[in-house]
Amino acid sequence: MFLQQLLNGLTAGAVYALIALGYTMIYGILGLINFAQGEIYMCGAFVTVLLLGTGQVNFFVAFAAGMAAAALLGVALERVAFRPLRGFHPLVPLISAIGASIFLQSLALLLFGPNDRPFPIQFNFSTITIAGLPLSSLQGAILAAALGFMALLVVFVRYTRYGKAIVACALDRDTARLMGVNVDRMVALTFFIGSALSGAAGIMMAIYYNATYPRMGLLPGLKAFSAAILGGVGSIPGAILGGLLLGVAESLGAAYVSSGYKDAIAFAILILVLLFRPQGILKGRGD
Amino acid sequence: MLTLKSVQAGYGRLTVLKGISLHVRPGEVVTLIGGNGAGKSTTLRAISGLLPPARGVVEFNGADLTRLPPERIVALGLALVPEGRRVFASLSVTANLELGAFHRQDQKQVRRDLEEIRERFPLLKERASQAAGTLSGGEQQILAICRALMSRPRLLMLDEPSMGLAPRMVSRVYQILRELKDEGTTLLLIEQNARAALKLADRGYVLETGRIILDGSAAELRDDPEVQRAYLGKGYREVWE
């Protein structure tokens, strides 16, 4: 039971971590919380579900297309909702982000209606028992894919030219420009990558819960925001750690306290962190 | 090589540079001296594109820099070692050096330059994977200079390279600058430490409240009574009497 809950928590947590990475990377480079991250997650899920619904598209192609659509939406959002507001008081882009979030949710409602859509294809996921622990291969696949995406991101940031340039922009924008780094392009790249990860998270949850709907991004978005704060917003390892911890805490809380409080647990953690360790577990900007 | 014609720049309504004209010829070491708030750093910010001039023209090898962003200016061969070193503290020493060459496309040559610079400054090799923020101030200054050199500049600008360093490190930094000069690197150097700067430089300009009040060869400036009194700390007795 405990191990099963731990595994459930890690699966949800890995998905929160993917979204939290988007929050944290964008915060790192712009000092801005993009509250429309949940809608980007929803966009990824919808594009994949609609493409698969046509019956003509291979699963992996649809998955990649969902991520790409989410990434492009993120880049477009930065262009329209954030870039014109650079240099304003930080509350201004924050309001713009909330506006974008409401707009995208309403647009999805208008286009796709309020109903849940099931995931169009069925997977033959089995449950295997390892050492008395029932492991669903769906959870295993989600966990593996999410960890794989995170590993890719860490490698990108640590070892590639553009990854280092993004970190440089987050640390010291003027000096990065003196090195020949085009900050606008790095901001766009950050939105691209962060949004692609959120899109992937959305698709995985659409499979996991077998439901895609316009408001699906609301709760995971807020929880991932809590996870980013918990880990230390601006820190990439912090977002991963925060996501996993939050997922596990939520799942164990639901099992041992009351499942009715499942969603409250994430936000209780957020409040406690803000009260007692506002810089998060791993403090950081751009590392 | 570099020419400024009546450049005005400032922050908001505050005009810091009230019309600066100066030039740097290839192979020259030129220094800009002046007190706090004279506009020395602002001049370099205006040249490097961080603070686009409100009026006037900045030309570099025939190209008009006045409206170009910094990332384009560095690609033309004009590098700035900023005030306070500004190394990327949480990135490794090597990553800092690599970022210096960010605009370059010739990756093979960048590798070779990196090797060369590490041979020359073994410190950068020994500390290659260490975070730049853990270096001492003097070491960070050397790293900041090398990072700028990685862009293969035709003109290297330095903003107060001796600021906040221990005396031993100041002489080390100036020894490096002298080596660069002997190799024919063109330098534009800003200093409050006028003594060190005038020793190294061929020519100099004296900046006061946003205007150039004096210019000449380094020797002329060293011998100028006004410069001696105001910037070299000589002649207090005469003033007192």
Whether the predicted pLDDT of A2 surpasses 90: no
Whether the predicted pLDDT of A122 surpasses 90: no
Look at A178 and B69 and tell me if their CB atoms are within 8 Å.
no
A251, with CB counted inside 10 A (0-12, 13-18, 19+), is: buried
CB-nearest to A171 from B74, B88, B102 is B88
- At B79-125, the pLDDT tens digits run 999 999 999 999 999 999 999 999 999 999 999 999 999 999 999 99
Query: How near does any CA of chain B get to the CA of A91, in Å?
Result: 22
Cα–Cα distance, B120 to A32 (Å, whole number): 42
Pick from A232, A229, A238, A236: nearest CA to A271:
A229
Pick from A246, A243, A222, A239: nearest CA to A284:
A239
CA angle A160, A63, A228 (to 5 degrees): 55
CA angle A12, A157, B125 (to 5 degrees): 140
Can you tell me whether residue B214 is helix, strand or coil? Answer: strand
Structural domains in chain A, sorted by start: 2-117+131-276 (1.10.3470)
Q: Between chain A and chain B, how many beta carbons pairs sit less than 8 Å apart?
A: 66
Q: Is A93 on the interface with B (CB under 8 A)?
A: no
Could you tell me the end-to-end alpha-carbon distance of chain A, in angstroms, rounded to an integer?
A: 37
Can you tell me whether residue B129 is helix, strand or coil? Answer: coil
Look at A179 and B74 and tell me if their CB atoms are within 8 Å.
yes
Q: Which helix (H) or strand (E) holds B205?
A: strand B203-208
Amino acid at A134: P
Of A163 and A259, the structure prediction assigns the larger pLDDT to A163
Q: What are phi and psi of B146, to 5 degrees?
A: -65, -35
Q: Please report the pLDDT score of residue A26 as a whole number.
A: 95
> What does pLDDT average to over chain A?
92
Look at A168 and B100 and tell me if their CB atoms are within 8 Å.
no
User: Bridge partners of A212?
Assistant: A117
**Count of CB atoms within 10 A of residue B10's CB?**
17
Find chain B residues with C-beta within 8 A of A282's C-beta. none
Contact residues for A25 (Cβ-Cβ < 8 A; gap 6+) = A166, A190, A193, A194, A236
Give me Rg for the CA atoms of chain B. Answer: 18
Q: Please report the pLDDT score of residue A280 as a whole number.
A: 86
The pTM is what? 0.91
Residue of B nearest to A176 (CA): B99
Cα–Cα distance, A17 to B96 (Å, whole number): 29
Can you tell me whether residue A130 is helix, strand or coil? Answer: strand
- At A210-255, the pLDDT tens digits run 999 999 999 999 999 999 999 998 899 999 999 999 999 999 998 8
Mean pLDDT of B187-208: 93
Whether the predicted pLDDT of A119 surpasses 60: yes
* Percentage of chain A lying above the pLDDT 90 cut: 75
- At A5-35, the pLDDT tens digits run 898 999 999 999 999 999 999 999 998 999 9
- What is the CB-side half-sphere exposure of residue A273 using CA atoms within 13 A? 23
Q: Please report the pLDDT score of residue B233 as a whole number.
A: 73
Mean pLDDT of A204-214: 94
Whether the predicted pLDDT of A281 surpasses 90: no
Find chain A residues with C-beta within 8 A of B89's C-beta. 171
* Percentage of chain B lying above the pLDDT 90 cut: 84
Q: Is B195 on the interface with A (CB under 8 A)?
A: no
Per the listing, tokens 């408001």 go with A215
Q: Please report the pLDDT score of residue A286 as a whole number.
A: 46
Cα–Cα distance, A161 to A234 (Å, whole number): 20
Could you tell me the end-to-end alpha-carbon distance of chain B, in angstroms, rounded to an integer?
A: 45
Find chain B residues with C-beta within 8 A of A165's C-beta. 99, 102
Can you tell me whether residue B204 is helix, strand or coil? Answer: strand
Cα–Cα distance, B92 to B104 (Å, whole number): 20
- At A75-116, the pLDDT tens digits run 999 999 999 998 899 899 999 999 999 999 999 999 999 999
CB-nearest to B88 from A161, A168, A177 is A168
Q: Is A157 on the interface with B (CB under 8 A)?
A: no
CB-nearest to A175 from B75, B86, B90 is B86
Q: Is B157 on the interface with A (CB under 8 A)?
A: no
Q: Please report the pLDDT score of residue B241 as a whole number.
A: 44
Q: What are phi and psi of A131, to 5 degrees?
A: 50, 45
| Residue pair A165/B102 in contact by the 8 Å Cβ criterion | yes
Look at B98 and A161 and tell me if their CB atoms are within 8 Å.
yes
Whether the predicted pLDDT of B18 surpasses 50: yes
Whether the predicted pLDDT of B36 surpasses 90: no
Q: Is A237 on the interface with B (CB under 8 A)?
A: no
> What does pLDDT average to over chain B?
92
Cα–Cα distance, A76 to A182 (Å, whole number): 18
| Residue pair B114/B94 in contact by the 8 Å Cβ criterion | yes
Query: How near does any CA of chain B get to the CA of A162, in Å?
Result: 9
Look at A176 and B89 and tell me if their CB atoms are within 8 Å.
no
Q: Is B98 on the interface with A (CB under 8 A)?
A: yes
Quote the distance between the C-alpha of residue A132 and its chain's center: 32
Residue of A nearest to B77 (CA): A180
Mean pLDDT of B178-182: 95
Mean pLDDT of A44-73: 96
- At B114-170, the pLDDT tens digits run 999 999 999 999 999 999 999 999 999 999 999 999 999 999 999 999 998 999 999
Which of A29, A158, A179 is the best residue to mutate to test the B interface, defined by the most B CB atoms within 10 Å of its own CB? Answer: A179
DSSP state of B188: E
CB-nearest to B102 from A161, A171, A284 is A161
Residue of B nearest to A167 (CA): B91
Cα–Cα distance, A279 to B13 (Å, whole number): 36
CB-nearest to A286 from B69, B75, B90 is B90
Mean pLDDT of A28-47: 95
Q: Is B76 on the interface with A (CB under 8 A)?
A: no
Cα–Cα distance, B235 to A250 (Å, whole number): 75
Q: Is B50 on the interface with A (CB under 8 A)?
A: yes
**Count of CB atoms within 10 A of residue A262's CB?**
15
Of A80 and A1, the structure prediction assigns the larger pLDDT to A80
Q: Please report the pLDDT score of residue A287 as a whole number.
A: 45
Which of B71, B143, B156 is the best residue to mutate to test the A interface, defined by the most A CB atoms within 10 Å of its own CB? Answer: B71
Q: Please report the pLDDT score of residue A262 as a whole number.
A: 84
Of A151 and A126, the structure prediction assigns the larger pLDDT to A151
Whether the predicted pLDDT of B63 surpasses 70: yes
